[in-house]
Amino acid sequence: MTFHPDHEALHGVTVVVTGASGKTYVGRYHERTERGVLLHDVGVHDPAAAAHPLAEWLRRQDRFGVKVEHRHLMLPPAEVGDVVPFLDWLAANPALPPHL
Amino acid sequence: MPYPPMLVQPMKDEVTRLGAKELTTIAEVDEVLGPAQGTALVFVNSVCGCAAGNARPALRRALEQSEAKPDVVATVFAGQDLDATHRARSYFGEDYQPSSPSFALLKDGEVVHFIHRHQIEGRTAEAVAGELVAAFGRYC
């Protein structure tokens, strides 16, 4: 049973969005409009402030779940780079950090 | 605000008919998870069609296919039974972020395997069931 037919294929899927700013976003894709990409329940990796490198941070989001910093986040078009399903990112990056 | 009961009842029934114990209050959660002995699978049910539509059949397949099974299979409904869901998540520990639908397999009170929503999305029920069966075999 689905409650949201007629949406994009990524609707409801947790994705990794590469930002032009250098930040990376993990969240549930809602839609893309002229205003940008709207995500729900979003975690953000900011390389300037993060405790872990990006790959390790993403692995932790996979293991423990996405640590939500924004319930809803609209990423403007200029910020949105690649949008990849999180599972696809994980499949393409199978190496585990040693501590996991 | 919780969903209308009529909306979620079929989704609850799909799980409870498998033998899962429905937990709707804090007291019920504490009664089942409080002893922290043996193995318990907690399924956090959800209305989400994308993932829960696969998670429920996955649970059914896993329970049908696996010889090893948790001592207890319990379920809470996120977005509906709010207090019970919050309480159940408190047993998962601080590291695990809220996720629905999701599966938490606990052994003696500790999470030994967790399947988050993002690990269900886009996978088939068979694939998720296979992961559950493997976890049951390893820990139950």
Give CA A24 to chain center in angstroms. Answer: 7
The encoded tokens of residue B19 equal 């033998």
Residue B95 contacts A where some CB pair is shorter than 8 Å:
yes
DSSP bridge pairs for A27: A15
- Number of structural domains found in chain B: 1
> Right CATH number for A14-92 from 3.40.50.360, 2.30.110.10, 3.40.228.10, 2.30.30.100?
2.30.30.100
Contact A12 B116 (CB under 8 A): no
Catalytic residue check, B48:
yes
Q: Over the stretch A2-25, which tens digit does the pLDDT of each residue have? A: 445 566 889 889 999 999 999 999
What pLDDT does B55 receive?
Answer: 95
ipTM: 0.85
What pLDDT does A96 receive?
Answer: 55
* Residue B114 belongs to domain spanning: 5-139
Chain A 1-20, residues with CB within 8 Å of chain B CB atoms? 1-4, 11-14
What is the average pLDDT across A95-100?
A: 50
Residue A79 contacts residue A36 (beta carbons within 8 Å): yes
Higher pLDDT, B50 or A49: A49
Residue A42 contacts B where some CB pair is shorter than 8 Å:
no
Closest-CA distance, A81 to chain B, in angstroms, reads: 21
Query: In this model, does residue B48 exceed pLDDT 90?
Result: no
Q: Confidence band (pLDDT; 50, 70, 90) for A99?
A: very low
Residue B102 contacts A where some CB pair is shorter than 8 Å:
yes
Query: In this model, does residue B135 exceed pLDDT 80?
Result: yes
Q: Over the stretch B70-126, which tens digit does the pLDDT of each residue have? A: 999 999 999 999 999 999 999 999 999 999 999 999 999 999 999 999 999 888 999
Chain A residue numbers with beta carbons less than 8 Å from the beta carbon of B96 are: 64-65
Number of helical (H) and strand (E) elements in chain B, helices listed first? 5, 5
Query: In this model, does residue A83 exceed pLDDT 70?
Result: yes
What pLDDT does B85 receive?
Answer: 97
What is the average pLDDT across A75-97?
A: 89
Closest-CA distance, A3 to chain B, in angstroms, reads: 6
What pLDDT does A5 receive?
Answer: 56
Q: Confidence band (pLDDT; 50, 70, 90) for B52?
A: confident
> Which pTM was predicted?
0.90
CATH number of the structural domain spanning residue B42:
3.40.30.10
Contact B123 A3 (CB under 8 A): no
What pLDDT does A95 receive?
Answer: 63
Contact B95 A64 (CB under 8 A): yes
Query: In this model, does residue A98 exceed pLDDT 90?
Result: no
What is the average pLDDT across B34-53?
A: 89
- Average pLDDT of every residue of chain A: 89
Q: Which residues of A4-26 are buried (b: 16+ CB within 10 A; e: fewer)?
A: eeeeeebbbbbbbbbbeeebbbb
